[in-house]
A and B are shown apart, each in its own frame.
Chain A
Amino acid sequence: MIQVNNLKFRYTSEGPETIKGITFTIEKGQIFGLLGPSGSGKSTTQKILYKLLSGYEGSAKIKNKEVSDWGKELYEQIGVGFELPNHYLKLSALENLKFFQSFYGKNHDPMKLLKMVGLEMDADKKVSEFSKGMKMRLNFVRAFAHDPEVLFLDEPTSGLDPTNSRIIKDIILNLKKEGKTILITTHHMEDAEELCDQVAFLSTGEIKTLDSPQNLKLEYGKNTVEVLTQSNLEPITFDLKTLKDNDKFLDLIQTEEIKTIHSKEANLNDIFIEVTGQKLK
């Protein structure tokens, strides 16, 4: 659905390259995460793909057509959820949705969309009276209000409380089930781990590594299990591969009271730091 090949971009002809030859492919129905700290090139990459930035080198294709060759009809195919709220503050949530929907051929029922993110009771309230979280939820539903095939979501859970963050993530997973292709940029590793089929670690305009979260965790994790028992102050470490034949481990779990037991796979945050040498936030 999306093919990016050796993509390069600089904001001014004399300036440094912001994107330095990145390559990735997103298949239909996949959720792809672009992960990186501020200034790593995540948003620039997205903006190139939805044509807010032009004049790139290399190739960026959506539905097998070069982005630069797409006209305005591209926006019938894609939806964009921006990182910051952008609504007409003097219009209500429902009026905002209806206004933007009026430019598209097909649309979801705006009230159903508002209900999905718990805004149905605030449908007729002016957006200027909304909290940041409410504006972000409105941003989110507007992105797919016209039922696009491809979605670009920039920090979709930013500014949301855990309950609403859960609702948004569930909707994203449902959109995937419907066959939507989704590109998410985020620095929330937990979200990426839960949502993404593939993640690319972006740092200083380069992709440092690209794989599924599961593979990355296996590759960079330690093949060990740590067991903490009631009688020991320090956890005891066992090799995961030989665990079933490890007499000491088997004896321990039969005779001791176990306080905690953890496999030591790495989390994406640790892997990001190891791969890029940078922190995410």
Chain B
Amino acid sequence: MKKLAKLIESDLKLIFRDKTLLSFLVLPIVLIFVFKFLTPILIEKIPILEDYRTLIAMFASIQTAIMFGFITSFLILDEKDENVMQVIRILPISSSYFILYRLLFATVFSSTAAFFMITYTDIANPGTVNALLLSILYGLTAPTISLIIATYAKNKVEGMAYFKGVDLLLMLPLASFFVGSSISLVFSILPTYWTFKFYDHSFNGESSLNYFIIGALFFISLISILIIQFKKRVFGRS
């Protein structure tokens, strides 16, 4: 526990001392308030948006959740740049402990923010239990994005480009709600397709647990593959 507390303390110091990371930490809170107060005004002015409540909530939640993926990936990119990874490898803790902590750190923050976005903004609240399950799926986008950037980006400039690219990819399944059901399946190769489907069905009171299970398994499989890649490429061994 002492080690874990020290890791969290050090990560928070690193985030608070970096203006970019700090802004990404504050951004989810800003987004929650913006969507909370702006959405009803927008719906009042443009009534057709009423039909797109769930889509707005899906978009808002994913944008909130990925911020923490960005933060942890940039913490790791800094460690790569500053050669600290070399020192971490010779610490008496396993590399898995270190990686899992970082991913858990991203997931917990991300899930919490997504939960507040779903419940507090009340744009499309599917109920507490479903909101909790949704938060888990949204939370899992953070380690996914974090591992992709930290594994494949060589520096922060590349990291930013990866972030934008992956963000776009994760939002792409939103398009599935505008196309026919057969074409919409094309988007099922992306994990957020299952998150959005679960959101849609649970909000409309339809059977939805299958979407949650498939989504969670999809994310966990993807994260596992990415962890192996991360260990191989960043820690130099699998």
Interface residues of A (CB under 8 A from B): 50-52, 54, 72-76, 78, 80, 82, 84-91, 95, 98-100, 102-104, 126, 142
Q: Is B206 an interface residue (CB 8 A)?
A: no
Q: Complex: how many Å from CA A89 to CA B79?
A: 9
| Interface pairs A-B: 10 shortest CB-CB | A86-B83, A102-B6, A75-B92, A90-B17, A103-B91, A72-B92, A99-B10, A76-B92, A80-B90, A86-B87
**B10 near A95: Cβ-Cβ < 8 Å:** yes
Can you list 21 A-B pairs, Cβ within 8 angstroms, ordered by A?
A: A50-B90, A51-B90, A52-B89, A52-B236, A72-B92, A72-B94, A75-B92, A80-B90, A84-B83, A86-B84, A86-B87, A88-B78, A90-B18, A91-B10, A95-B13, A99-B10, A100-B87, A102-B3, A102-B6, A126-B17, A142-B87
Q: Complex: how many Å from CA A75 to CA B236?
A: 18
**B90 near A75: Cβ-Cβ < 8 Å:** yes
Shortest CB-to-CB span from B93 to chain A, Å, is: 6
Q: A86-B82, A99-B6 are in contact. Are A91 and B14 (CB under 8 A)?
A: yes
* Interface majority SS (helix, strand, loop, mixed), chain A: loop
Q: Is B45 an interface residue (CB 8 A)?
A: no
**B87 near A54: Cβ-Cβ < 8 Å:** no
Mask: chain B, 54-76; 1 = CB below 8 Å from A; 0 = not: 00000000000000000000000
Interface residues of B (CB under 8 A from A): 2-3, 6, 10, 13-14, 17-18, 78-79, 82-84, 86-87, 89-94, 236-237
Residue of A nearest to B18 (CB): A90
Residue of A nearest to B15 (CB): A90
Q: Complex: how many Å from CA A89 to CA B78?
A: 9
**B94 near A103: Cβ-Cβ < 8 Å:** no
Residue from the list B84, B86, B92, B236 in contact with A88, Cβ < 8 A = B84
Q: Interface centre among B2, B91, B94, B236, by most A CB within 10 Å?
A: B91
Q: A80-B90, A84-B83, A100-B91 are in contact. Are A90 and B14 (CB under 8 A)?
A: yes
Q: Complex: how many Å from CA A86 to CA B14?
A: 15
Q: Complex: how many Å from CA A126 to CA B17?
A: 10
Q: Complex: how many Å from CA A213 to CA B13?
A: 48
Chain A residues with CB under 8 Å of B2's CB are 102
Residue of B nearest to A105 (CB): B92
Shortest CB-to-CB span from B89 to chain A, Å, is: 6
Chain B residues with CB under 8 Å of A54's CB are 237
Q: Complex: how many Å from CA A100 to CA B83?
A: 14
Q: Complex: how many Å from CA A78 to CA B237?
A: 21
Q: Complex: how many Å from CA A102 to CA B236?
A: 24
Chain B residues with CB under 8 Å of A76's CB are 92
Chain A residues with CB under 8 Å of B17's CB are 90, 126
Q: Complex: how many Å from CA A231 to CA B2?
A: 75
Q: A75-B92, A104-B92 are in contact. Are A86 and B10 (CB under 8 A)?
A: no
Chain A residues with CB under 8 Å of B90's CB are 50-52, 75, 78, 80
**A87 near B82: Cβ-Cβ < 8 Å:** yes
Shortest CB-to-CB span from A142 to chain B, Å, is: 8
Q: Complex: how many Å from CA A117 to CA B26?
A: 39
Q: Complex: how many Å from CA A88 to CA B89?
A: 15
**A103 near B93: Cβ-Cβ < 8 Å:** yes
Residue of A nearest to B85 (CB): A86
Q: A52-B236, A103-B92 are in contact. Are A89 and B6 (CB under 8 A)?
A: no
